[in-house]
Every structure is written in structure tokens, then in C-alpha cells.
Amino acid sequence: MVKKILFVVFAGFLLASASGCVLLVAGAAGGAGTAVWLSGKLSQVFEAKYDRSVAATLSVLKEMKAEVAKETKKKNVTQIRGSYNDGRQLWIDIRKITEKTTRIEVRVGVQSDRVAATEVLKRITDKI
């Protein structure tokens, strides 16, 4: 398991370095790795079951009073689309990696608000 986590972190670092993006470190309480900012979204692997990750994400959005416009569930992926009260769009993808790990990707706004995405992911981390 540790080897998988190290591989994901290392691969993310290489990918971010090759594209000129910056790695962001998010609080890792319950997390399995570092958050990575890539292609306008913040992504982190968590050591948490898929259903728990989905529930934590929906709970955070409710607390933030963000409107969930659409929730699409497939076998191993949940996509949540919503918006803040100020009209900024919110996209969250939750992907099952293994029985005990998930990847959560957060994008806020068309112009990719990194600060807002970091806040959302931090709140999810605190719930997981």
C-alpha cells in the first residue's frame, strides 16, 4: 500500500514538473497523499472508502450552502456539479481507486479558483 501511495505522489510530482504546475500541500488528516494542482483542478488521493468520500463531500457542500445541481453516480465514479451563492460553478469528481482509497478532484469557477478549490478539499479532508 505504501508503495502505491509513493508511486502516485511521485508520478504526480513528475507530471506537475513536466507541465510547469505547482504542487500544493493540503492537510493530510485522513489523506493518503499530497494534493496536486493540475489542469485547473486540485486532486488528492484519500485513504477512505468510496461511499464515505461521497458522503463527506456532500456533507461539506451542504455546510457551505452550495447548491448541488447534478449528481451522477456510476460504478466507481461520482460527479457532482453545483454552484456557490455568488454564481461560481463547482465540479467535484470522486473516483474509487481501491476498496480503501479514493481520489477526489475539485474545480471551482471557469477560471479555476485555486484558493476556493483548496478550501473545499481541506473541508472534505477534515470530514473524512
- What CATH number is associated with residue 53? 3.30.310.80
Closest CA to 127 of 46, 73, 69: 46
Domain that holds residue 75: 2-127
What is the mean pLDDT, run by run of 10 residues, along the chain of 128 residues?
52 48 37 66 89 93 90 92 88 93 89 85 89
Q: Give the residue among 55, 64, 46 at the shortest CA–CA distance from 8.
A: 46
Residue 14: what pLDDT? 46
Distances (CA, A) of 119 to 18, 41, 113: 26, 12, 10
Predicted pLDDT at 10: 53
User: How many domains is the chain built from?
Assistant: 1
Structure confidence at residue 87 (pLDDT): 85
The pLDDT value given to residue 90: 92
DSSP string, 62-74: HHTT-EEEEEEE-
CA neighbours within 13 Å on the CB side: how many for 60? 22
C-alpha cell at 9: 505522489
